Amino acid sequence: MAGMGDIHGFNAMDARSPLSLPRTVALVGLMGAGKSAIGKRLAMRLGLPFVDADDEIERAAGCSIAEIFEKYGEADFRAGERRVISRLLDEPPHVLSTGGGAYIDPETRALMRAKAVTVWLRAELDVLFDRVRKRGHRPLLRNGDPKEVLARLMTQRYPIYAEADVVVDSTAQPADRTTEQVIEALRAHLQTEKTPA
Ligand code: S3P
């Protein structure tokens, strides 16, 4: 006889069992992908702290990211971002939302791949643009037409984000639904880690 949770080969109990994370989950993706919105929900669902790397960088620098770009330039911002993310990755498991360029920096990416489960929130241009158009705090979107900048960054960065452990589409659907999909994708990924090839 099939077990309690086993309905036609699908283990219903398994889908509902709590997911325990062996290490930090780092969310990557372009500006507007929903890293903070999904990250906060994911942290709540997993019972883990939520940390926003950009907020930590601002706290460490004592000024906004726009000011860091203005005063010191992007290269210095990336160096600070690398230091802050490296420190955060040594903290106990949490949900970490990272700025869109963090995973593109080779050193930061190597750290994230070594110490976290990485999740790329992949979104289409119209979804990204719709989310970023309302706020003007992002320095990279201040130089030129924001939609064109996003399109260029998609071409440059999507092949690199694709190296993440887990990929989930971030669409215009409710954030809770996307969060659910992230949890299921994480569950599937962690299962493959447990099962040697
Ligand atoms: C950046 C994304 C921003 C912030 C900085 C640079 C990028 O974070 O780190 O403005 O290079 O894509 P969000 O992705 O959270 O907007």
Which pLDDT score, from 0 to 100, does residue 184 have?
A: 96
What pairs with residue 11 in β-bridges?
Answer: 6
32 Cβ inside 6 Å of ligand 1: no
Sheet holding 95-97, edge to edge: 50-52, 95-97, 24-28, 116-122, 166-169
At residue 14, does pLDDT exceed 60?
Answer: no
Neighbours of 185 (CB within 10 A): 15
Residue nearest to atom 4 of ligand 1 (CA): 99
CA angle 132, 113, 170 (to 5 degrees): 30
Is 149 a pocket residue for ligand 1 (Cβ < 6 Å)? no
55 CA → ligand 1 middle, Å: 11
Q: Which atom, in ligand 1's list, is nearest to the CA of 29? A: 14
Contact 103, 11 (CB under 8 A): no
pLDDT (mean) for 13-27? 80
d(CA 52, CA 56): 6
Query: Which residue, judged by its Cα, is nearest atom 9 of ligand 1?
Result: 99
- pTM of full prediction above 0.85: yes
Our answer on whether the CB atom of 138 is closer than 6 Å to any ligand 1 atom is yes
168, 42 Cβ separation under 8 angstroms: no
Ligand 1: distance of its center to the CA of 66 in Å? 10
Lowest mean pLDDT among 7-21, 36-50, 74-88: 7-21
Kindly tell me if the per-residue pLDDT of 9 is higher than 70.
no
* Residue 139, ligand 1, Cβ within 6 A: yes
Q: Which stretch of 13-22, 68-77, 99-108 has the lowest confidence by average pLDDT?
A: 13-22
Q: Provide mean pLDDT across the span 121-146.
A: 93
Reply yes or no on whether the pLDDT at 11 is more than 60. no
Separation of 101 CA from ligand 1 center, angstroms? 6
pLDDT classification of 16: cutoffs 50, 70, 90 = low
Quote the tokens at residue 46: 């997993």
Mean pLDDT of the chain: 92
Residue 4 has pLDDT above 90, yes or no: no
Query: Is it the case that residue 22 has pLDDT exceeding 60?
Result: yes
